[in-house]
Amino acid sequence: MTHTFPVRVYYEDTDMGGIVYHANYLRYIERARSDWVRGLGNDQNAMRDAGVIWVAQRVEADYLASAKYDDELMVATEVIKVTPARLIMGQVVTRGETVLFRAKVTAVCVAAEGGRPTRLPAEIRALL
């Protein structure tokens, strides 16, 4: 099952090359992940109040084509693998039929203080 999330490119996203600054794709796909886990019932404010946060552990990203100001993009997110402690997702950013960006992201949950790994939220482990 694929979660989709629209992103519009604004001035803030561009750089002097006239295209979206490369690091901003990580922000786009993080918005999509946040939207997806919210839909599953995962409340990141409540998690943080309980001292637990999501963090990226590994990102593999391929930049295939560039996006410009005003482009309407779509972020597609799929689960590749869930373990009790780790969530691996495939994420693709497209503009119409064109694939612009592709990433494989491993996310884990850690204690905000100290960074010790913890189990994933129940809503996510339910995907196992």
Indicate which single residue of 2, 4, 6, 27 sits in contact with a second copy (rule: CB under 8 A): 27
Give the Cα separation of 55 and 108 in Å (integer): 6
Q: Which stretch binds a second copy (CB under 8 A): 11-19, 74-82, 83-91, 119-127?
A: 11-19
Site string for a second copy, 89-128 (x = CB under 8 A): -----------------------x--x-------------
Give the Cα separation of 16 and 31 in Å (integer): 24
Q: Residue 45 carries which side chain, given as an amino acid letter?
A: N
Give the Cα separation of 86 and 105 in Å (integer): 10
Q: Which is nearer to a second copy, 22 or 128 (CB)?
A: 22
Both structure tokens of 20: 């979206």
Helix, strand, coil content of the chain in percent (nearest 5): 25, 45, 30
Binding residues vs a second copy (CB under 8 A): 8, 10-12, 14-19, 21-24, 26-27, 30-31, 34, 38, 43-45, 48, 53, 55-63, 65-66, 68-70, 112, 115
